[in-house]
Structures are given as C-alpha cells and as structure tokens.
Amino acid sequence: MKEKEQKILDASLKLFVERGFHGTSTAEIAKTAGVATGTLFHYFKTKEELINRLYLYTKESMLCEVSEHYDDKKTFKENIKELWLKFVRFGVDDPYKFQFILTFHCSPYITSLTKEQVELHAESMLRIYKNGIRKQKIKEISFEMVMDYFWGNIVTVVTHFEKYPEKLNGKNLDMAFELLWDGISK
C-alpha cells in the first residue's frame, strides 16, 4: 500500500468512527490525511469506494491479528480461548478499527462483494467450528449462530473493558471466556 493511500485510510477511519459516514466530507478526510482532495480521488473514485476499501482493510487487519494456528497438542477449549483472547485484545488495543467494524458491519454502503471478500478470509473459523462439532465439544448449532454468539460475546467483553479498564485482568478475562464456553460447549 502506498504511503498516501495509508494516510487516507487512517484519517478516514478516525473520522468515520467519530463523525459517521454523512458527517465526514472527503475534503475533511484529505485535509486530515495531509493530501490534496484530488489525491484522495486518485486512490478512491468515490466516498463509497473508500468506505468499502476501509471496511476490507479493517476486517483484514483484525483477521490477520487473530489468525488461528490450531494446535493439536492443546484441547479444543484451549484453542477456542486463544482465538477468543486475540479478538478481545484486538478490540481493546485497536478501538478505532474495532468500532469501525461494529458501526459499518450492517451499513448499506458496504457492498455484498466486499462482504464476500471478507468471508473468504474467515474460512479458518469454519475449520475450527467443524472440528468442534466432529469432536463433539460444542453444541450442534449452525455455524452462523455460533459465530454470531462468539462475536456478540467479544463485543460485550470489549465494551465492558472500555467502560471499566481497571478491570481488565486475567481473572476477569477467564470469567468472561467461561460465559462464552458455557453457552457453546456440550
């Protein structure tokens, strides 16, 4: 990625999270990024193209951070917990990207093509799920339901620790994970 393109993505991330899509003009993005408005349009033909590229960028960043390396020497529960902790850490450590993903996940500006591209990166999650079903470690519910439940728990935990950062410690993380585990395990 070119330096100017990265500056535009970084500036638009902050502005879209703080002001929303309609509250952010391309002129503000260009100014915040320290580039000319024409430069912004060189990289992104429309504001809609920019927000889709930013969505793909933030989701890829998250999935890269949490990429799983399933360890057969560990229990299924330990592997799920490790993956869960990576998602929680991403949300705590990179709140702008996390909030952007939350805010724009259901946005009409994010195209189905962009969402399909993101889904290709999430195939590792499907492998873990199938492994859990095969080993009879988790309840036999749809993949989509498990992923929504998993994600909902992560959102709740990250939001909780944003409100109460002094409570972010190993003991509370363990308890939060157990709430998730109790809901999906057989």
pLDDT on residue 137:
83
User: Which letter, b or e, does each residue of 135-160 get, where b requires 16 or more Cβ atoms within 10 Å of its Cβ?
Assistant: eebbeeeeeeebeeebeebbbebbee
Residues 135-150 have a mean pLDDT of 84
Q: Do 22 and 102 have their domain in common?
A: no
Domain count, the chain: 2
Rounded to two decimals, the pTM is 0.87
Residue-range definition of the domain harbouring residue 144: 47-184
- Cβ–Cβ < 8 Å for 12, 30: no
My answer on whether 156 and 175 are in the same domain is yes
- Give the CATH number for residue 77: 1.10.357.10
Same-domain check for residues 178 and 117: yes
Residues 6+ apart with CB under 8 A from 177: 81, 84, 85
Condensed to tens digits (0 to 9), the pLDDT of residues 14-70 reads: 999 999 999 999 999 999 999 999 999 999 999 999 999 999 999 989 988 887 677
User: CA-to-CA distance for 59 and 76, rounded, in angstroms?
Assistant: 25
Q: Using one digit for the tens of pLDDT, what is the confidence trace for 98-116?
A: 999 999 988 888 888 888 8
Quote the crossing angle between the two packed helices 76-93 and 170-184, to the nearest 10°: 120
Q: Are 135 and 76 in contact (CB under 8 A)?
A: yes
